[in-house]
Structure 1
């Protein structure tokens, strides 16, 4: 029975149309800070891959499929890069459309008043390895208004694939650096 399962999995994987995407180059600061928050073991389903585009959106668009816990960056030629993400807890989940209004490396974190009310122990902090926004943040706006939602790195990589955030889209730090390097300010974001 076990051999049949292994052969079946191998055949399924042989039919997949995805390939790995190399890690981006890192600055000395990135390498130093990221070494302090090492990646946890995670399900390979949430690794960064180039795949056939399932979104049917225009190249350059970011699509977050919250139920799949996947973020897709649509590429030309019917391809996309798929990244595993953590999404908003059911009570705090967010869906809609936005644009990247701003990008930041190792951003400072200023939790909104609603979050501080729920968790009085949280406080503002400068960018760095223990900051919950991680290595990069993409700030989302809707018609020029800050949504207060972000696509950002994390200091809890073991939670990728879960619904645990206060609505933001969390990525492994190496993945958010890769995405940050690929998308400009003004890029469209669709969260489904």
Structure 2
């Protein structure tokens, strides 16, 4: 597995911006800083094709394209607050469009003033904390870990450690990733 320094050093400095397509062009992306838009790179030391890698110190998610030529797409993300980030290897066990959301029991216990009101859940929609799409992360013997890679209603949180464990992306970016990633994709949270 590559460390952060060697990974970044292998990326081409002239990474090309990724076209998200008309369906993903939203006001949320238009207000997003250009330097945090998805970028495509070719790596000298390729990651395994068809895998996702999250580099928390860089607030970056890399989707290694299945073609296997070392090309990745880098997306800017938000990650978990201190003490809530869980590293490990997972698989995408489920995918949902405009998913419903319920805070975990731990979230309610930790911050009842923020989460107790949602103990019965919240339907999917633009204000839902899981945003437009979600990739559900599973592990063998554990099943659903309650960790997600998902959209966020507030793009200003990207590039920060603010979540309760999940990896968050701008809604148009998660839609772009969601359309490419099949079930059982390997996800490495480094």
Mark the runs of 5 or more structure 2 residues left unpaired by the alignment. 1-11
Cα shift at 1:25: 4.7
Whether the aligned pair in 2 keeps the contact of 1:17 and 1:52 (CA below 8 Å) is no
Task: Give the 5 Å matches for 1:86-165.
Answer: 86-120=78-112, 121-122=114-115, 123=118, 124-143=121-140, 145-165=143-163
Describe the superposition over 1:2-33 as per-residue Cα deviations: whole angstroms up to 9, x where unpaired.
xxxxxxxxxxxxx822101111453xxx88xx
Mark the runs of 5 or more structure 1 residues left unpaired by the alignment. 1-14
Match of 1:190 in 2: 188
Task: Give the 5 Å matches for 1:14-93.
Answer: 16-26=13-23, 38-39=28-29, 41-53=31-43, 56-75=46-65, 76-93=68-85
Aligned residues: 171
Counterparts of 2:110 and 2:144, CA distance in 1: 21
**TM-score (structure 1 length as normaliser):** 0.82
**TM-score (structure 2 length as normaliser):** 0.83
Cα shift at 1:39: 4.4
Counterparts of 1:117 and 1:97, CA distance in 2: 27
